[in-house]
Structure 1
Amino acid sequence: MNKLQAMEVFVQVVDAGGFTRAAENMQIPKATVSTLVQGLETALSVKLLHRTTRQINVTADGAAYYERCLRILADVREAEESLSRTRLSPSGRLRVDAPTGLASDVLMPALPAFFDRYPDIVLELGCSDRPVDLIEEGVDCAVRGGALDDSTLIARRIGVINFVTCAAPAYLARFGTPQHPRELERHRCVNYFSSKTGKTFDWNFTRDGERVQLPMPGLIALNDSNAYVQAGLAGLGVVQMTDFALLPLIRDGRMVPILDDWATDPLPIHVVYPQNRHLSAKVRVFVEWVSDLFASHPGMRVKAPPGQALPSLESAA
């Protein structure tokens, strides 16, 4: 039995909460996962996992062994990378998750430069507006916007997203152009709802010390940023969306900005990854690359009005 491989498999089983998920994450047969864990238990003469037909639970001995495995595997990887870093570029499969709009409008155009620099990395980019469980789904790191509520993740702030309110010319020609945010209560708005909670997000505006935050009336609510933009283009109502998604449409006249003398709250953006795990070379270089990308992107500049504070940020989620 390859003891290090067996340790890696055991850690994956504990992290993923099952043999099937661990096998999928590691891309090896489930039978191999089961055999390696059983081999560990035989070699150690202890029970590491309690198995039932529905779930697995870590024994007290298994929990202690899991912590030791994490440290041992981290030391081995660090030793290997310290020897190979000068002659080999980071390589292997890298699983990243990002919101749909950020992935299509910001990450995708910049990825050719990333692959020119790191040609041996194979990127699996999950694009969705739903929150993912990094451990359970085998994701190495993720780009996330807004409040962070998972204390098991390490977070690094990499920028902010700014928003613009606009509508299609045909909509404004039919319903008129609002001059104050409260006039939107008499309009149709395209709403966005959380994939996690199902709650529709309020809209907010600030100008000269006056702040307006309210739910918006509308015929449709969506939870995908690309579909949201298309709803605005179709004239279904006023939209409030990221400026990097809408500015090209504003420039070519397909969308018209409104209430542009009012500011909206910027949204903090973080890159997150699991704590208590060794940060591999491929994850480290992606985190540095995406941090530099967002720092230099014109759509990520802070545009909060004077006297308005950005949301408080922590170093950990």
Structure 2
Amino acid sequence: MDSLSAFNAFVRAAEARSYTEAGRLLNVSPSAVTKAVSRLEERLGVRLFHRNTRGLTLTQEGALFLDSCYRIFSEIDAVHAELAHSKITPMGRLKVSLPMVGELIMPAISDFVSAYPDIELDLNFTDHLVNIVDDGYDVVIRTGKGADSGLISRPLGAFHLRIVGSPAYLERAGMPIVPRDLMVHACLHHRYATSGRIRRWPLEVTTTERGLVLPVAVTSTAIEPLITLAERGNGLACLPDFAIRQQIADGRLIVVLDEYMTFASVLCAVWPSNRFIAPKVRAFVDFLTENLFPRVDG
């Protein structure tokens, strides 16, 4: 018998005051119970029972050990109950890695926090490619399709990059008609924090426009300042459309050169491939799938 089985044999024998009755209750032979208790006594270095013709009585050490066994089995029952509850109820710590652009999906994540108060959300923003398993992440949000071997990926929604400016800026600086017109505009650029490289604007250009190096008015490692600067008329910015949908809809930002833009990508959730998906992971991925990118009816 293993340790827990031996503990259980001891408890049954103590309660029944008989090896024979304990064996009947456990569906094993009396000799199996006797051997389990004897091995326990050897390992503990104490006698647990007084044996006589009337049956078994606990020694002082046996009575103390019985109380300890009750506490151990009570803790095990509590753990089983907690795990059974967690299988159906999203709860516990959820460690999530997001790209720096992930700050733009915080409204959806805020709604998730409100909807699932029993989940402790641990958010880590980085443009480094993290190792999901080794770094202990439950879910990673990535741009681009596909997942490494041993990982599961689900698309949360597609997005595009769009060049936008405020009505006041475009009235002052003029509306660009072709990509080379950007050479006379104030361009607001996103710069990768990890590499320091400025993100290229994905424009489809003619042969004569290849190698076009756009002017730099501002660079930022975060997207939010670029949105603010564009809204306030400081120049044109190339931004993910999910971050500026409302500004475009209400006219605070106007899209330009859209027919020349070639970039389309997908935001995905990636998590380790296990036989069972934790409810907290399923709840998070399902919630973002439903709420991250608003559906437009009609």
Q: TM-score, normalised by structure 2?
A: 0.58
Alpha-carbon distance change, 290 to 247 in structure 1, aligned in 2, over 3 angstroms = closer
Q: Which amino acid aligns with 2:262?
A: T
Using the alignment, how far apart are the partners of 1:279 and 1:123 within structure 2? Answer: 17
Percent identical residues: 29
Using the alignment, how far apart are the partners of 1:217 and 1:150 within structure 2? Answer: 38
Matched, 1:112 2:104: no
Using the alignment, how far apart are the partners of 1:96 and 1:288 within structure 2? Answer: 14
Q: What runs of 5+ residues in structure 2 fail to find an aligned partner?
A: 1-79
Alignment of 1:286-297 (within 5 A): 286-294=284-292, 297=294
Alignment of 1:101-250 (within 5 A): 101-104=101-104, 106-109=105-108, 111-112=110-111, 115-116=114-115, 118-127=116-125, 131-135=129-133, 137-146=135-144, 153-205=151-203, 215-250=213-248
Alignment of 1:15-26 (within 5 A): none
Alpha-carbon distance change, 291 to 217 in structure 1, aligned in 2, over 3 angstroms = same
1:97 paired residue number = 97
**1:265 Cα deviation after fit:** 1.6
**1:232 Cα deviation after fit:** 1.9
**1:129 Cα deviation after fit:** 5.2
Q: Which amino acid aligns with 2:294?
A: H
Using the alignment, how far apart are the partners of 1:102 and 1:276 within structure 2? Answer: 25
Larger radius of gyration: 2
Using the alignment, how far apart are the partners of 2:287 and 2:255 within structure 1? Answer: 32
**1:179 Cα deviation after fit:** 0.5
Using the alignment, how far apart are the partners of 2:195 and 2:149 within structure 1? Answer: 18
2:282 paired residue number = 284
Q: Assess if the C-alpha contact under 8 Å between 2:163 and 2:256 holds in 1.
A: yes
Count of aligned residue pairs for this structure pair: 216
**Deviation by residue 1:2-35 (Cα, 9 ceiling, x = unmatched):** xxxxxxxxxxxxxxxxxxxxxxxxxxxxxxxxxx
Alignment of 1:29-44 (within 5 A): none
2:182 alignment partner, SS class: helix
Q: Assess if the C-alpha contact under 8 Å between 2:155 and 2:267 holds in 1.
A: yes
**Deviation by residue 1:158-180 (Cα, 9 ceiling, x = unmatched):** 32112221112343233211111
**1:194 Cα deviation after fit:** 2.3
Using the alignment, how far apart are the partners of 1:288 and 1:176 within structure 2? Answer: 44
- Calculate the aligned-residue CA RMSD, in Å: 3.8
Q: Which amino acid aligns with 1:297?
A: P
Alpha-carbon distance change, 297 to 100 in structure 1, aligned in 2, over 3 angstroms = farther
Matched, 1:298 2:289: no
Alpha-carbon distance change, 199 to 183 in structure 1, aligned in 2, over 3 angstroms = same
**1:80 Cα deviation after fit:** 8.3
**1:191 Cα deviation after fit:** 1.5
Alpha-carbon distance change, 212 to 120 in structure 1, aligned in 2, over 3 angstroms = farther
Q: Assess if the C-alpha contact under 8 Å between 1:98 and 1:127 holds in 2.
A: yes
Alpha-carbon distance change, 231 to 139 in structure 1, aligned in 2, over 3 angstroms = farther
2:254 paired residue number = 256
1:289 alignment partner, SS class: helix
Using the alignment, how far apart are the partners of 2:150 and 2:234 within structure 1? Answer: 40
Alpha-carbon distance change, 95 to 226 in structure 1, aligned in 2, over 3 angstroms = same
Q: What runs of 5+ residues in structure 1 fail to find an aligned partner?
A: 1-78, 302-317
Alpha-carbon distance change, 154 to 297 in structure 1, aligned in 2, over 3 angstroms = same
**Deviation by residue 1:185-239 (Cα, 9 ceiling, x = unmatched):** 33221122223333222222359xxx98855221222221112212323433211
**1:127 Cα deviation after fit:** 4.3
